[in-house]
Structure 1
Amino acid sequence: MENDAKIGVLYLVATPIGNLDDITYRAVKVLSSVDLIAAEDTRKTKVLLDHYGIHKPMISYYSYNERTRTPQIISQILEGKSVALVSDAGTPGISDPAYRIVQEALEKGITVVPIPGPTAFVSALVVSGLPTDRFVFEGFLPVKKGRKKKLESLKHESRTIILYESPHRILKTLSELYESLGNRRVVVARELTKKFEEFLRGPLESVISEIKKKEPRGEYVVIVEGQARTDRDDSQLEE
């Protein structure tokens, strides 16, 4: 028990997805008190920290170095240091690195504390106008391998479907959703909480036409209605 008292804590701290005011008092307090901040991009996190007058050592932690960084950070926590893990925007672990270090921390008996806050897909979902009681979050679709299979698996999904997409793939993804799922209702959210926040709502075909009118910019949340029960019954009869 004496050794346990010396072990630090791993905090998963949610940060703003655009507007720097969208952070909790608790998150600011934790970021101000920890010994080290592990950030997906230290340059972006520095902007947030400077905004709140926080000056703490940082270390990078992202998908390409998490395998080597994880044991380094775990070692420091076991030595008694408290570490805050943050992503570029939103909640760590949601389409961002976190799973590996959380799993390792729990295996080592380290306390892992969530500091809740913004998550892009939740913000988009609640104002989408599509059903929010049951949904499935798929994150980013596979770029190549497994992409067609994943799209096919969503064809009979009855829950509201949520995806993330980048500006250079948004048209391709929406077009493939149209081909696989038909002309379902969709909501495409862009630049959430920022100055140029935008929501496009309507059938997939019309939303695709709107996006084609100007160069896609910013990160996108795509929300697609699930397959209606009558459609599911008809498709099963055809099979």
Structure 2
Amino acid sequence: MITADTIGGVGLIIVDRHERRNALDVAHCDMLRDTVRDLGNSAIRALVITGRGTSFCAGADLDGVYGDGFRNALYRMLSAVTELPVPVIAAVNGPAIGAGTQLAIACDLRVAAKSAAFAIPTARNGLAVNPWTLRRLSVLAGGATARAMLLGCQRFDADLALHRGLVDRIGDLDAALEWAGEIATYAPLSLRYSKKALDVLFESESTDPALDAAFEECWSSEDLLEATRARVEKRAPQFQGR
């Protein structure tokens, strides 16, 4: 379930699927996308996104991530967050893994609880994240962080994420809402311009056919099928690089 509320000029979205540690499937990606767009059409001046319970978002629901449609649903949802004209704050209340880290970096700002953690362990399950994710992560936290996270499958706790620039402040949901309330008093046109300018100047769209082909190769590989089998059989996958 995705819940939404408004507090003054601040919108609040909660991913409420605690029994699955707020993991995302196609339905929840679509619901989150629609909720973001609905709030964006209201009079909010800022938006906070968080998770219910002890997790921000455990990533993709692996029972459905290998099926058709998940990637499209995920990236449509992330685009809705990045395209929102008002500042978006991720209140990272716990682990943000895989798609959870992608959701956090799609937001403009991140407030992380001490229990927060960030990781994109795609190399462990044969998956891949799109070039936008690599670019966004590198812009926010630097190439060294992106390499450690994607090549070394390193997990970053809140303090290290703050040190690397992946997190802006340490705090809980109340701290994120307080910051959002402050931002909501700022000049909307100035905020809209700054958000758009930062995206255009530092994250301009570029395409590389070879990169796109390598991304698609991961999603159609035998290694991905092996990861699926290994998950069902409760064993470590044996990757062959094909």
TM-score of the superposed pair, with normalisation by structure 2: 0.31
Higher strand share: 1
Higher helix share: 2
Larger radius of gyration: 1
Structure with bigger RCO (C-alpha 8 Å, 6+ apart): 1
